[in-house]
Amino acid sequence: MSESESNETRSVPGDGAAYYSHPTLMRSPRRREWWTVLHPPYTMLHLSFVVVGGCLAAPVNFARLGVSVAAFFLAVGIGAHCLDEYHDRPLGTFIPRRQLMVVAIAGLVGAVGLGVVGLVVVSGFFALFMIVGVVIAVAYNLELFHGRLHTELVFVAGWGSFPVLTGYFAQHSTLSLASVVVAVFAALVTLLQRTLSTPARQLRRRTLSVQGQLTLRDERVVPLTKAALLLPLERSLRLLCWSGVTLAVGLLMLRAVGS
Protein backbone atom coordinates (compact mmCIF):
# COMPACT_ATOMS: atom_id res chain seq x y z
CA MET A 1 0.00 0.00 0.00
CA SER A 2 1.17 3.52 -0.66
CA GLU A 3 0.73 6.82 0.99
CA SER A 4 0.38 8.76 -2.26
CA GLU A 5 -2.61 10.99 -2.84
CA SER A 6 -5.03 10.35 -5.66
CA ASN A 7 -4.73 13.85 -7.12
CA GLU A 8 -0.96 13.88 -7.48
CA THR A 9 0.41 14.47 -10.94
CA ARG A 10 3.43 13.01 -12.64
CA SER A 11 6.81 13.98 -11.25
CA VAL A 12 8.70 16.91 -12.62
CA PRO A 13 11.33 15.44 -14.99
CA GLY A 14 14.72 15.07 -13.32
CA ASP A 15 13.38 15.71 -9.83
CA GLY A 16 12.70 12.15 -8.78
CA ALA A 17 9.39 11.15 -7.25
CA ALA A 18 11.06 10.39 -3.90
CA TYR A 19 14.42 10.77 -2.24
CA TYR A 20 15.11 7.06 -2.87
CA SER A 21 14.23 7.19 -6.58
CA HIS A 22 17.80 7.11 -7.91
CA PRO A 23 19.85 4.41 -6.19
CA THR A 24 23.45 4.74 -7.35
CA LEU A 25 23.91 0.99 -7.82
CA MET A 26 21.10 0.75 -10.38
CA ARG A 27 21.93 2.02 -13.85
CA SER A 28 18.84 0.66 -15.57
CA PRO A 29 16.01 3.24 -15.63
CA ARG A 30 13.41 0.47 -15.46
CA ARG A 31 15.03 -1.09 -12.39
CA ARG A 32 15.09 2.33 -10.73
CA GLU A 33 11.39 2.69 -11.46
CA TRP A 34 10.58 -0.67 -9.89
CA TRP A 35 12.74 0.23 -6.89
CA THR A 36 10.77 3.45 -6.43
CA VAL A 37 7.42 1.66 -6.76
CA LEU A 38 8.40 -0.63 -3.88
CA HIS A 39 9.05 2.37 -1.56
CA PRO A 40 11.89 0.56 0.28
CA PRO A 41 12.22 2.88 3.33
CA TYR A 42 8.50 2.90 4.07
CA THR A 43 8.19 -0.82 3.39
CA MET A 44 10.99 -1.45 5.90
CA LEU A 45 9.24 0.71 8.49
CA HIS A 46 5.92 -1.11 8.20
CA LEU A 47 7.58 -4.53 8.13
CA SER A 48 9.36 -3.53 11.32
CA PHE A 49 5.92 -3.15 12.93
CA VAL A 50 5.23 -6.82 12.15
CA VAL A 51 8.45 -7.77 13.92
CA VAL A 52 7.67 -5.52 16.89
CA GLY A 53 4.24 -7.12 17.27
CA GLY A 54 5.67 -10.61 16.93
CA CYS A 55 8.39 -9.99 19.50
CA LEU A 56 6.31 -8.23 22.14
CA ALA A 57 5.95 -11.34 24.28
CA ALA A 58 7.93 -14.54 24.63
CA PRO A 59 8.19 -17.16 23.37
CA VAL A 60 8.69 -16.21 19.75
CA ASN A 61 8.29 -18.76 16.98
CA PHE A 62 10.76 -17.43 14.43
CA ALA A 63 9.32 -19.51 11.60
CA ARG A 64 5.91 -17.89 12.13
CA LEU A 65 7.55 -14.50 12.37
CA GLY A 66 9.38 -15.02 9.09
CA VAL A 67 6.16 -16.06 7.37
CA SER A 68 4.36 -13.02 8.79
CA VAL A 69 7.04 -10.63 7.51
CA ALA A 70 7.10 -12.33 4.10
CA ALA A 71 3.31 -12.09 3.80
CA PHE A 72 3.32 -8.37 4.57
CA PHE A 73 6.16 -7.78 2.14
CA LEU A 74 4.20 -9.48 -0.63
CA ALA A 75 0.93 -7.73 0.24
CA VAL A 76 2.21 -4.24 1.08
CA GLY A 77 5.69 -3.90 -0.37
CA ILE A 78 4.70 -5.43 -3.71
CA GLY A 79 0.93 -5.83 -4.10
CA ALA A 80 -0.40 -2.60 -2.64
CA HIS A 81 2.35 -0.40 -4.04
CA CYS A 82 1.91 -1.78 -7.56
CA LEU A 83 -1.84 -1.20 -7.34
CA ASP A 84 -1.20 2.37 -6.27
CA GLU A 85 1.00 3.07 -9.28
CA TYR A 86 -1.43 1.22 -11.54
CA HIS A 87 -4.33 3.36 -10.35
CA ASP A 88 -3.14 6.89 -11.05
CA ARG A 89 0.65 6.92 -11.59
CA PRO A 90 1.60 9.04 -8.54
CA LEU A 91 5.28 8.21 -9.13
CA GLY A 92 5.14 8.98 -12.84
CA THR A 93 6.77 5.71 -13.92
CA PHE A 94 6.50 4.24 -17.40
CA ILE A 95 6.07 0.64 -16.24
CA PRO A 96 3.30 -0.92 -18.37
CA ARG A 97 -0.01 -1.12 -16.53
CA ARG A 98 -0.30 -4.81 -17.36
CA GLN A 99 3.01 -5.52 -15.64
CA LEU A 100 1.96 -3.56 -12.58
CA MET A 101 -1.30 -5.50 -12.32
CA VAL A 102 0.35 -8.89 -12.85
CA VAL A 103 2.96 -8.20 -10.17
CA ALA A 104 0.30 -6.82 -7.82
CA ILE A 105 -1.87 -9.93 -8.21
CA ALA A 106 1.15 -12.19 -7.73
CA GLY A 107 2.07 -10.36 -4.52
CA LEU A 108 -1.44 -10.53 -3.09
CA VAL A 109 -1.92 -14.17 -4.06
CA GLY A 110 1.40 -15.03 -2.44
CA ALA A 111 0.38 -13.20 0.74
CA VAL A 112 -2.97 -15.02 0.84
CA GLY A 113 -1.16 -18.32 0.32
CA LEU A 114 1.00 -17.64 3.36
CA GLY A 115 -2.13 -16.57 5.23
CA VAL A 116 -3.65 -19.98 4.58
CA VAL A 117 -0.66 -21.45 6.40
CA GLY A 118 -1.63 -19.21 9.30
CA LEU A 119 -5.14 -20.62 9.26
CA VAL A 120 -3.76 -24.11 9.74
CA VAL A 121 -0.94 -23.34 12.15
CA VAL A 122 -2.27 -20.42 14.20
CA SER A 123 -6.07 -20.28 14.30
CA GLY A 124 -9.14 -20.18 12.11
CA PHE A 125 -9.67 -16.61 13.32
CA PHE A 126 -6.60 -15.70 11.29
CA ALA A 127 -9.01 -15.55 8.33
CA LEU A 128 -10.24 -12.22 9.70
CA PHE A 129 -6.74 -10.77 9.42
CA MET A 130 -6.43 -12.09 5.87
CA ILE A 131 -9.73 -10.56 4.77
CA VAL A 132 -9.02 -7.20 6.39
CA GLY A 133 -5.53 -7.06 4.91
CA VAL A 134 -6.64 -7.82 1.35
CA VAL A 135 -9.61 -5.42 1.52
CA ILE A 136 -7.43 -2.57 2.78
CA ALA A 137 -4.68 -3.19 0.23
CA VAL A 138 -7.06 -3.32 -2.73
CA ALA A 139 -9.75 -0.84 -1.73
CA TYR A 140 -7.39 1.84 -0.46
CA ASN A 141 -5.01 1.85 -3.41
CA LEU A 142 -7.63 1.47 -6.14
CA GLU A 143 -9.95 3.88 -4.32
CA LEU A 144 -12.88 1.50 -4.51
CA PHE A 145 -16.30 2.28 -3.01
CA HIS A 146 -15.97 5.88 -4.21
CA GLY A 147 -12.80 6.30 -2.17
CA ARG A 148 -14.52 5.75 1.17
CA LEU A 149 -11.57 3.68 2.39
CA HIS A 150 -8.96 5.99 0.88
CA THR A 151 -8.62 8.03 4.05
CA GLU A 152 -5.94 8.98 6.51
CA LEU A 153 -7.57 6.87 9.22
CA VAL A 154 -7.48 3.74 7.06
CA PHE A 155 -3.88 4.39 6.06
CA VAL A 156 -2.74 4.92 9.64
CA ALA A 157 -4.62 1.87 10.92
CA GLY A 158 -3.79 -0.36 7.95
CA TRP A 159 -0.09 0.44 7.72
CA GLY A 160 0.56 1.12 11.40
CA SER A 161 -1.70 -0.74 13.81
CA PHE A 162 -2.63 -3.72 11.63
CA PRO A 163 0.93 -5.08 11.17
CA VAL A 164 1.54 -4.99 14.93
CA LEU A 165 -1.70 -6.80 15.75
CA THR A 166 -1.18 -9.37 13.01
CA GLY A 167 2.39 -10.08 14.09
CA TYR A 168 1.27 -10.57 17.69
CA PHE A 169 -1.73 -12.75 16.82
CA ALA A 170 0.39 -14.96 14.57
CA GLN A 171 2.54 -15.76 17.61
CA HIS A 172 -0.03 -16.18 20.36
CA SER A 173 -3.41 -16.80 18.63
CA THR A 174 -4.91 -13.95 20.65
CA LEU A 175 -4.47 -10.25 21.32
CA SER A 176 -3.50 -8.50 24.54
CA LEU A 177 -3.89 -5.01 25.97
CA ALA A 178 -0.16 -4.47 25.48
CA SER A 179 -0.42 -5.34 21.78
CA VAL A 180 -3.26 -2.83 21.37
CA VAL A 181 -1.24 -0.09 23.07
CA VAL A 182 1.78 -0.78 20.85
CA ALA A 183 -0.56 -0.79 17.85
CA VAL A 184 -1.55 2.76 18.82
CA PHE A 185 2.16 3.65 18.96
CA ALA A 186 2.63 2.28 15.44
CA ALA A 187 -0.39 4.26 14.26
CA LEU A 188 1.10 7.46 15.68
CA VAL A 189 4.44 6.75 13.98
CA THR A 190 2.61 6.14 10.70
CA LEU A 191 0.68 9.38 11.13
CA LEU A 192 3.98 11.18 11.69
CA GLN A 193 5.36 9.58 8.54
CA ARG A 194 2.35 10.78 6.57
CA THR A 195 2.56 14.27 8.09
CA LEU A 196 6.16 14.58 6.88
CA SER A 197 5.76 12.85 3.54
CA THR A 198 2.70 14.79 2.36
CA PRO A 199 4.50 18.16 1.99
CA ALA A 200 7.61 16.35 0.73
CA ARG A 201 5.57 14.74 -2.05
CA GLN A 202 3.98 18.07 -2.89
CA LEU A 203 7.39 19.67 -3.27
CA ARG A 204 8.92 16.84 -5.29
CA ARG A 205 6.02 15.88 -7.53
CA ARG A 206 3.91 18.99 -7.97
CA THR A 207 6.16 22.00 -7.40
CA LEU A 208 8.13 23.60 -10.24
CA SER A 209 9.87 26.30 -8.22
CA VAL A 210 9.92 28.04 -4.85
CA GLN A 211 10.39 31.76 -4.37
CA GLY A 212 10.88 33.72 -1.19
CA GLN A 213 13.25 34.36 1.67
CA LEU A 214 13.56 34.33 5.43
CA THR A 215 14.61 37.54 7.14
CA LEU A 216 16.18 36.70 10.50
CA ARG A 217 16.27 38.92 13.59
CA ASP A 218 19.96 39.68 13.00
CA GLU A 219 18.98 40.96 9.53
CA ARG A 220 20.48 38.01 7.71
CA VAL A 221 18.48 36.89 4.68
CA VAL A 222 18.12 33.19 3.92
CA PRO A 223 16.69 32.32 0.48
CA LEU A 224 13.91 29.75 0.34
CA THR A 225 14.53 26.99 -2.17
CA LYS A 226 12.89 23.70 -2.99
CA ALA A 227 15.96 21.81 -1.79
CA ALA A 228 16.07 23.74 1.49
CA LEU A 229 12.44 22.94 2.24
CA LEU A 230 12.85 19.27 1.33
CA LEU A 231 15.98 18.68 3.41
CA PRO A 232 14.46 18.62 6.94
CA LEU A 233 11.37 16.72 5.77
CA GLU A 234 13.25 13.94 4.01
CA ARG A 235 15.99 13.72 6.61
CA SER A 236 13.28 13.24 9.25
CA LEU A 237 11.66 10.54 7.12
CA ARG A 238 14.97 8.70 6.78
CA LEU A 239 15.55 8.83 10.53
CA LEU A 240 11.99 7.75 11.25
CA CYS A 241 12.23 4.70 8.99
CA TRP A 242 15.58 3.62 10.38
CA SER A 243 14.41 4.13 13.98
CA GLY A 244 11.57 1.68 13.37
CA VAL A 245 13.96 -0.87 11.88
CA THR A 246 16.38 -0.40 14.80
CA LEU A 247 13.62 -1.04 17.33
CA ALA A 248 12.56 -4.19 15.49
CA VAL A 249 16.11 -5.51 15.29
CA GLY A 250 16.65 -4.83 19.00
CA LEU A 251 13.52 -6.75 19.97
CA LEU A 252 14.45 -9.55 17.59
CA MET A 253 17.89 -9.85 19.21
CA LEU A 254 16.33 -9.82 22.66
CA ARG A 255 13.99 -12.70 21.86
CA ALA A 256 16.71 -14.62 20.01
CA VAL A 257 18.99 -14.50 23.03
CA GLY A 258 16.18 -15.52 25.37
CA SER A 259 15.01 -18.44 23.26
Where are the strands (E) in the chain, listed by range? Answer: 213-215, 221-223
- Quickly state the pLDDT bin for 9 (edges 50, 70, 90): very low
Half-sphere exposure of 232 (CA within 13 A, CB side): 5
pLDDT, tens digit, for every residue of 79-101?
A: 999 999 999 999 999 999 999 99
Q: Sign of dihedral through CA atoms 231, 248, 138, 93?
A: positive
Higher pLDDT, 197 or 29: 197
End-to-end CA distance of the chain: 33
Sketch the domain layout of the chain as residue ranges: 29-204+233-258
Q: What CA–CA distance (Å, rounded) separates 259 from 254?
A: 9
Percentage of residues in the chain having pLDDT higher than 70? 93
pLDDT, tens digit, for every residue of 53-76?
A: 999 999 999 999 999 999 999 999
